[in-house]
Amino acid sequence: MITPIILSGGSGTRLWPLSRKLHPKQFINLINDTTLFQDAILRLPEDVADPLIICNEEHRFLAAEQLRQINRKSNGIILEPIGKNTAPAIALAALKFINNAEDPLLLVLSADHLINDIGAFHQSIKIAEKLAEKNKLVTFGIVPDKAETGYGYIKANINNTADYYTIQSFTEKPNQENAKKYLDSGNYLWNSGMFMFKASAYLQELKKFEPEIYAACKKSYQSEYKDKDFIRLNNDEFIQCPEQSVDFAVMEHTKNGVVVPLDADWSDIGSWEALWHAKDRDDKGNVSEGDVILDEVINTYTYSSNRLVSAIGVSNLVIIDTQDALLVADKKYAQNIKNIVNQLKEKNRPETENHRKVLRPWGYYDSIDANNDFQVKRILVNPGAKLSLQKHQYRAEHWVVVRGVATITRGDDVFTLKENQSTYISKGEIHRMENQGEVDLEIIEIQTGDYLGEDDIIRLEDDYQRN
């Protein structure tokens, strides 16, 4: 049987400021009411096994919650302590099944792709399945429709009457001149980063060409620990693993590699320009989302998360306004957003990590206001959820209930607070907030102290096994 492997470890920096390290593009509703991660699962053929998810440790609750939202189960969620690219990630997936004396066909997919022609996608999977059963290592090559510089390419012995082609070489992202040559030659496909092969076939080739990766992943999996649907590794062993893509590690070297063409209106949504192409546009070529008013604007993507954004007399721009950051860019420079993100990282700016509204496994908090010695948050706790039992070294907190009923632990006391009632948590005092009701609990939290960082949390008990 085919077992889908959903690789969900990317950070999506080219879609900053909407996509951020702790809430990247695959978990955002970019195209429709579902996220790219959810779409990757929903478009799977009906006759495949439940997917195995591979994601970063810090994204585990996002993945689990988004599976729950679409009422889908998984074969587990493997947690990588650090991203090591695709070759180790796929090795972990293969080892999970081999260790259980299984050898399924692995359909390796990315969590952040857009595929509009589902029928064509399923047909290519059927072709790849027959090849993978014969121990071929199959990659899917996208039939190009333009000279694209944002994708890698696969050179193949293309025969328009064949279902698949032999691979000649892999090429990194080209400049515009070479991209046009590739397109005109008719011998190149875009490298989709999607694959199908037997778990054993992949591990055999990985062990041959990258024995260090194979050994590190095998050691990482020998002491796996299951926490509900989460599969934890030996972090010390995995951190030693070399970082490498599956293309460099295996596909460029194997004699068993083939490529199946895929013409399914595909995109990896890797930039704001790519997202602009994927969206419905008005008669002037504009995409407008949120509270937006335009006048004499052409071919522009304008997004507002929470307030009015207006533009006059501009063209070919990307204007993205979130609650804590504004981006204005020429679309032709959209790939350069990573330079802005790198500058922010160098300055240790929080805008690269999280949004003002931060999702947590129990709900979320929204930082409404802050200064040097105070911070105000709006906290929402889901029905049946509770925060960790904790204390703080440097701050005190004042809680005011604005909706629902809160069960409060404060020191040795346990009591309830209703709307318009409040309590004070002094510095160093053990406390917890819980929603035992059936509606959302909303609280305004006012923090005061010399240091208000999120790392000033000493957890004593936690349902979600966080440190």
pLDDT tens track for 117-137: 999 999 999 999 999 999 999
Q: What is the 3-state secondary structure (H, E, C) of 416-453?
A: EECCCCEEEECCCCCEEEECCCCCCEEEEEEEEECCCC
Q: Is the pLDDT of residue 344 over 70?
A: yes
Per-residue pLDDT band at 330 (split at 50, 70, 90): very high
pLDDT in tens, 37-47: 999 999 999 99
Mean pLDDT, residues 303-328: 96
User: What are the tokens at 415?
Assistant: 């009591």
pLDDT at residue 81 in the model? 87
Candidates 43, 46, 59, 62; CA nearest to 1 is 46
Asked whether residue 91 carries a pLDDT value surpassing 70, the answer given is: yes
Is the CATH code 1.10.3720.10 the one for domain 357-461? no
Judge if 2-267 and 357-461 fold alike in CATH terms. no
Radius of gyration from C-alpha coordinates of the chain = 24
Q: What pLDDT does 224 receive?
A: 63
Predicted pLDDT at 270: 85
Q: Tell me the per-residue pLDDT of 346-355, one tens digit each, with 9 for 90 and over.
A: 999 989 988 8
CA distance 270 to 24: 12
CATH ID of 2-267, from 3.90.550.10, 3.40.50.300, 3.30.160.60, 3.40.50.11890: 3.90.550.10
pLDDT digits (tens, 9 = 90+) for 132-169: 999 999 999 999 988 888 889 999 988 778 899 999 99
Task: Determine the average pLDDT of the residues in 71-88.
Answer: 92
pLDDT tens digits for range 400-409: 999 999 999 9
Q: How would residue 223 be classed by pLDDT, with cut points 50, 70 and 90?
A: low
pLDDT, position 158: 86
391 DSSP β-pair partners: 458
> CA–CA separation, 433 vs 407, rounded Å?
6
**pLDDT of res. 29:** 93
Q: Which three-class secondary structure string do you get for 9-43? A: CCCCHHHCCCCECCECHHHCCCCCCCCHHHHHHHC
Extract the tokens encoding 456: 């000033």
Full-model pTM: 0.89
Give the span between the Cα atoms of 22 and 16, in whole angstroms: 12
Per-domain residue ranges of the chain: 2-267, 272-340, 357-461
Q: What is the pLDDT of residue 28?
A: 93
Better-scored residue on pLDDT, 234 or 328: 328
Sequence-distant (≥ 6) Cβ neighbours of residue 107 within 8 angstroms: 2, 3, 4, 5, 48, 125, 128, 194, 195, 196
- H helix and E strand count, the chain: 11, 30
State residue 160's pLDDT score.
76
Burial of 339 (0-12, 13-18, 19+ CB in 10 A): exposed
- How remote is the C-alpha of 107 from its chain's centroid? 18
Q: Is 341 helix (H, G, I), strand (E, B) or coil?
A: helix
Checking DSSP bridges between strand 2-8 and strand 105-110, what pairing results, if any?
A: parallel
Instruction: Tell me: pLDDT of 217 over 90.
Output: yes
Q: What is the full DSSP assignment across 53-112?
A: EEEEGGGHHHHHHHHHHTT---S-EEEESS---HHHHHHHHHHHHHTTT--PEEEEEETT
Mean pLDDT within 18-29: 93
Longest CA span, the chain:
76
Task: Please report the pLDDT score of residue 279 as a whole number.
Answer: 93
- Average model confidence (pLDDT) for the chain? 93
Dihedral sign computed on CA atoms, order 448, 454, 458, 462 = positive
Q: Calculate what percentage of the chain has a pLDDT beyond 70.
A: 99
Q: How many other C-beta atoms lie within 10 A of the C-beta of residue 315?
A: 15
Q: Which residue reads 């990282």 in tokens?
A: 345
∠ CA 100-101-102, nearest 5°, is: 90
SS3 128: helix
pLDDT band at 272 (very low <50, low <70, confident <90, very high): very high
- Lookup result for tokens 């993100």: 341
List the beta bridge partners of residue 142. 190, 262
